[in-house]
Structures are given as structure tokens and as C-alpha cells.
């Protein structure tokens, strides 16, 4: 077998970079992308800018350079060689949101992320116009909202894209987007593997659209599917990723994708009747459909795989961030008590303790709503932990309630999928919270009343998923599903957990209280 050092020095490795909500991660894989050679990262956070969630674009480039620098150091430490070139490269990022540029390529307003919920009027209008659910976070909802508000910058818009599309554009000069990410900008026609032409025509015909310089199609990136060439890394792009000049240009670029698409790849869930759940700052489930949905549901988004096949998506704005805050608090307690633990150790201890709690979390209820939650109709987030005087307030129940709360909104959306009769043969999960074996996975199985599989590679997440897509673009394979089955996951090991009857009954009781207490969320937002 070719040694990793030889693959790296010959430029045969593939690089995936994902801009997640709290971490920018760079993942280098070998000729067979199941082999992770090195990982680098950079921590970052969103901020409120004029009341809207955003990331500074200068921080995007500082973070990317830091992640690549970290990766190159890890390569040198682990393999004793310099990473100077790669065969192929891919960029992934948080889906949706709004990045608008003028004809001089200048950003018109600060980047508006998926987390914003200020687009209700636009989303409702477009849902009625198109006859499909247009979620608040989709790019077209953001665009229509600024049109309705009469924002000054609207007449100057020459290009609208997502975060992944923006980074790819600057690395290659190509204004393109992978179809999975594009499906979070505007509805896709799966027959043509492109934006829905009839819906674009309907949008252009709106009186409000007359303020735009041209047709909507001219403002959005070109749509590509997995395996398409999306350009080459330019000299300018290489310098952005590695200001030291070590990384050379010329890498083949795969279509930029969203975190939902890379999550499907990372869990081998791109074929019909497969699904996956990604748990991070947000949490979402993807189910690849055999047939169209019977009705329009505000709980379900219709997006696509990186190949353009139809997917029903349950997207919750709030995931594991509140849980992480609790873990941080207990980690600090351990420090002042004279016992030092890293974050993973604290997660392990608390998650294991949660297994000893009552199946219904002892009557405790936890809401992880740092932001608004469209599925439950909550406009603004207020994390809450609620109990009655007679509830069982113990550490095990408190942590179990927090874990249950991560999956609360998701389970509401998944129930709608079940009502639609969507059939799934396999549901996989990935994300850092599944590193502690047999805890979050077990509770998730109860939350969705279905078996849940977690692969050994699950914690690598979307950065690995986009590295796989980059490797696929540079390979001789033409079918992504077969490539995943026969090359990437041929020797993969995973662990599957069936729903526990006691957990099912307990989680159902928890959800009764959870649904009943949602009114507290709105009251808290009004009061605080």
C-alpha cells in the first residue's frame, strides 16, 4: 500500500473544508477517502449585527487560513512531510442565508445566516406563490424580505449566494453551487437538476421584483451536481487559504455544498429510503424520498441530495449549543474543585450519569432555544429549564432532560414525516454528541421511534463528507451511491441501537410536558 507520506508529497490527497457554525474544519484524506490523514481547525462564533445573526467575512478568511495552517502542522507532525498540493478540494458551509454583492463584487449588507427568523412575511408570500414550503432561512426568503422592506441596497444586487458559494467563488473565480446547497436558495426541479424555471418566472412576474436589475436566475449561482468539475484552485485562492505560500494552486474543485449534503455523504445516506440526522449548533434530519410529499408542511423542507434527488428535511434552528453550555458549567466546577477534565471527559461523565435517570427525566423539561424555532412557532429563543415542585431534581434527570431537549423539536418534525408515510430502511446519525457511545444515540432512537446507526467516522462530520465529494470528483467513478458503498464505506463499521421500550414511554411523557410548555417560551421572550 502507498504510504500516507508518499500520497501527500505526490499531491494525491484530497482536502475538504467546512465552515460550521462554531468551527472551521479542514480534513485531508488519502487515495481512498475512508483514510483520514490529518485534521485542522479554527474556533469561531456568530454575532448579532443590527439584530441579525452574522459572521464577518474577514473572519472567514482568517479562520480558513488558520484551519489550513493547523492542518499543515498536523501533517508535518504525523507524517513528517509538507502539504504543498492536493489532487482535489471541496468547500462546504452552513446552508441558506443571504450574501448579496454588487457589480463591483462588494458585499452590500453583512452576511445574514440561516439562524435569522425575520423573514416571516416573505416566506409566507412565497410559500403561497410557489405551492411549496419556503422556510424562513432560505436565501430567496431573505431576498424577498429585503425587497418588501424597501432596503436601499436591493437595486444594486448583482449576485446572491451562500457561504459555501462565496468561498468557492473567491478560490476559483467560478460562481457555481452544488445542487444540495442550491436547493436551500431556491426550489429545485429534480427532472432538470436546476432551479425550478416556472417558479423563477412566477417570482420575476411579481410587481415587487421590478426593483431588481434582472431576472432572478441571473442573480443566483449556476447549479452543479456531485462529480461535476467546478473549476480549479487559482493562485489567488491558494494564497487566501495559505498566506505563507506553501499550498500550490491547480487542485480540481468539486461543487461547493451545504452541511446537509455533506452530512448525507458522511453517513452514506444519498440513496432513496436512507436518512441521516446531523447534530450540532442546529439539528436536522434528512430523508431521501421515493415519491413527492402528499401535502405542504411547514415542518418539512424539500431539498436535494448532492445528486439532485428529492429529500425531506426537518431543520431545527437549535441543537446542542445549550447542552454544551451546561457541560462548560460543570467543567468549570470541576476546575474550581481541583479536578481538571477536558470537555470530552465531562461529556462522558455527564452522559453516563444521564443513563441512571428516570425515563421521563423525572418531570423536568428543557428547551434549547437560543434562537427562534420556526417548527414550533417560536419567534425568539430563550433557553429554559423548567420543573415543578414535585419533580425529581437530580443531576441524572437534569442532564437527561437537556439531552431530550436537543431532540424535542426534531421529534415533532419527524412525526410529520411518519404521518406522510415516508419509508426509511436506515437512519444514521453523526455529530460530536455521539462520541460517547450508547447515550445520545439511545435517546435519539426513542425520540424518533426508529433504530439509529452511528459509524466510527461519524464524529469527523461534514469536513470529511466534502473531502469525500472532492475525491469523488477526481476519481473515475460516475455513480456516487456506488462509490460510497464500494469504496468509502466498504470496510466501515457502525453500531445500531433499537428504541428501548422504557425510553419510548418516558420520552412520550417528556414530550407531553414539552409541547404543553411551549407557551412559556413565547412568554419568556416577551418578558426578557
The DSSP code sequence of 277-330 is: EEESSSEEEEEE-SS--SS--TT-EEEE-TT--EEEEEEES--SHHHHHHHHHH
* pLDDT for residue 26: 97
d(CA 266, CA 405): 25
Find cell 469504496 and name the residue.
Answer: 487
Helix (H) or strand (E) segment spanning residue 260 = helix 259-266
User: Which residues, given as ranges, of the chain have pLDDT below 70?
Assistant: 1, 456-460
Find cell 467546512 and name the residue.
Answer: 18
pLDDT, tens digit, 9 for 90 and up, residues 215-230 = 999 999 999 999 999 9
* pLDDT for residue 460: 62
Residue 161: strand pairing partners: 99
Residue 112: strand pairing partners: 98
* pLDDT for residue 226: 97
Q: Do the beta carbons of residue 189 and residue 182 sit within 8 Å?
A: no
Alpha-carbon separation of residue 296 from 119, 135, 188, 356, 421 (angstroms): 19, 12, 15, 41, 14
d(CA 410, CA 285): 8
d(CA 329, CA 31): 42
* pLDDT for residue 423: 87
Query: Is residue 2 left, alpha or beta, with left meaning phi > 0 and alpha meaning psi from -120 to 50?
Result: beta
d(CA 273, CA 384): 36
Pick from 98, 178, 78, 197: nearest CA to 138 = 98
Residue 313: strand pairing partners: 286, 301
d(CA 34, CA 268): 12
Angle formed at CA 204 by CA 50 and CA 129, multiple of 5 degrees: 80
Residue 160: strand pairing partners: 100
pLDDT, tens digit, 9 for 90 and up, residues 373-413 = 999 999 889 999 999 999 999 999 999 999 999 999 999 99
Within 10 angstroms of residue 79's Cβ, the number of other Cβ atoms is 19
Pick from 161, 166, 125: nearest CA to 145 = 125
d(CA 121, CA 340): 50
Pick from 35, 480, 493, 87: nearest CA to 262 = 480
The DSSP code sequence of 445-479 is: HHHHTS-EEEETTGGGHHHHHHHHHHHHHHSS---
* pLDDT for residue 490: 87
Q: Do the beta carbons of residue 352 and residue 386 sit within 8 Å?
A: no
pTM: 0.88
Angle formed at CA 227 by CA 221 and CA 233, multiple of 5 degrees: 65
C-alpha cell at 435: 462520541
Q: Do the beta carbons of residue 190 and residue 310 sit within 8 Å?
A: yes
Amino acid at each position: 500500500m502507498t504510504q500516507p507520506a508518499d500520497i501527500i508529497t505526490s499531491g494525491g490527497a484530497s482536502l475538504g473544508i467546512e465552515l460550521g457554525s462554531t468551527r472551521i474544519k479542514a480534513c485531508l484524506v488519502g487515495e481512498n477517502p475512508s483514510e483520514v490523514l490529518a485534521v485542522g481547525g479554527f474556533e469561531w462564533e456568530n454575532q448579532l449585527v443590527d439584530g441579525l445573526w452574522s459572521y464577518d467575512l474577514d473572519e472567514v478568511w482568517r479562520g480558513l487560513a488558520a484551519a489550513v495552517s493547523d492542518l499543515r502542522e498536523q501533517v508535518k507532525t504525523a507524517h513528517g512531510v509538507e502539504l504543498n498540493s492536493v489532487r482535489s478540494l471541496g468547500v462546504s458551509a452552513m446552508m441558506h442565508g443571504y450574501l448579496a454583492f454588487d457589480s463591483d463584487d462588494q458585499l452590500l449588507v453583512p452576511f445574514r445566516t440561516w439562524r435569522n427568523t425575520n423573514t416571516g412575511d416573505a416566506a409566507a408570500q412565497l410559500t403561497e406563490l410557489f405551492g411549496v414550503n419556503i422556510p424562513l432561512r432560505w436565501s430567496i426568503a431573505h431576498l424577498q424580505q429585503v425587497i418588501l422592506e424597501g432596503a436601499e441596497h436591493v437595486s444594486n444586487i448583482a449576485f446572491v449566494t451562500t457561504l459555501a458559494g462565496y468561498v468557492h467563488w473567491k478560490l476559483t473565480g467560478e460562481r457555481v453551487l452544488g445542487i444540495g446547497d442550491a436547493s436551500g436558495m431556491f426550489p429545485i426541479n429534480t427532472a432538470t437538476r436546476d432551479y425550478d424555471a416556472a417558479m423563477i418566472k412566477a417570482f420575476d412576474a411579481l410587481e415587487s421584483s421590478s426593483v431588481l436589475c434582472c431576472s432572478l436566475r441571473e442573480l443566483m449561482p449556476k447549479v452543479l451536481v456531485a462529480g461535476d468539475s467546478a473549476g480549479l484552485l487559482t493562485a489567488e485562492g491558494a494564497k487566501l487559504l495559505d498566506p505563507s505560500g506553501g499550498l500550490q494552486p491547480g487542485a480540481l474543485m468539486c461543487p461547493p455544498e451545504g452541511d446537509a449534503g455533506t452530512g448525507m455523504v458522511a453517513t452514506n445516506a444519498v440513496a432513496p429510503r436512507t436518512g441521516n440526522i446531523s447534530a450540532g449548533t442546529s439539528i436536522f434530519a434528512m430523508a431521501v424520498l421515493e415519491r413527492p410529499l402528499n401535502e405542504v408542511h411547514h415542518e418539512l423542507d424539500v431539498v436535494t441530495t448532492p445528486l439532485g434527488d428529492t429529500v425531506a428535511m426537518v431543520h431545527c434552528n437549535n441543537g446542542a449549543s445549550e447542552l454544551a453550555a451546561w457541560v462548560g458549567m460543570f467543567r468549570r466546577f470541576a476546575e474550581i474543585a481541583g479536578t481538571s477534565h477536558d470537555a470530552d471527559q465531562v461529556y462522558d461523565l455527564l452522559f453516563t450519569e444521564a443513563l441512571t435517570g428516570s425515563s421521563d427525566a423525572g418531570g423536568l423539561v428543557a428547551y434549547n432555544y437560543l434562537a427562534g424555532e420556526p417548527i414550533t412557532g417560536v419567534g425568539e429563543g430563550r433557553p429554559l429549564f423548567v420543573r415543578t415542585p414535585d419533580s425529581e431534581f437530580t443531576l441524572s434527570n437534569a442532564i437527561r432532560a437537556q439531552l431530550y431537549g436537543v431532540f424535542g423539536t426534531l421529534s415533532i418534525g419527524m412525526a410529520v414525516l411518519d404521518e406522510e408515510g415516508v419509508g426509511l430502511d436506515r437512519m444514521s446519525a453523526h455529530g460530536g454528541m455521539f462520541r460517547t457511545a450508547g447515550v445520545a444515540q439511545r435517546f435519539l432512537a426513542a425520540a424518533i421511534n426508529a433504530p439509529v446507526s452511528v459509524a466510527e467516522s461519524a464524529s469527523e462530520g461534514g469536513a470529511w463528507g466534502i473531502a469525500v465529494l472532492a475525491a469523488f470528483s477526481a476519481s473515475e467513478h460516475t455513480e456516487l451511491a456506488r462509490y460510497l458503498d464500494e469504496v468509502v464505506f466498504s470496510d466501515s463499521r457502525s453500531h445500531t441501537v433499537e428504541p428501548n421500550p422504557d425510553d419510548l414511554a418516558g420520552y412520550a411523557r417528556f414530550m407531553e410536558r414539552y409541547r404543553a410548555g411551549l407557551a412559556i417560551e413565547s412568554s419568556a421572550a416577551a418578558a426578557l
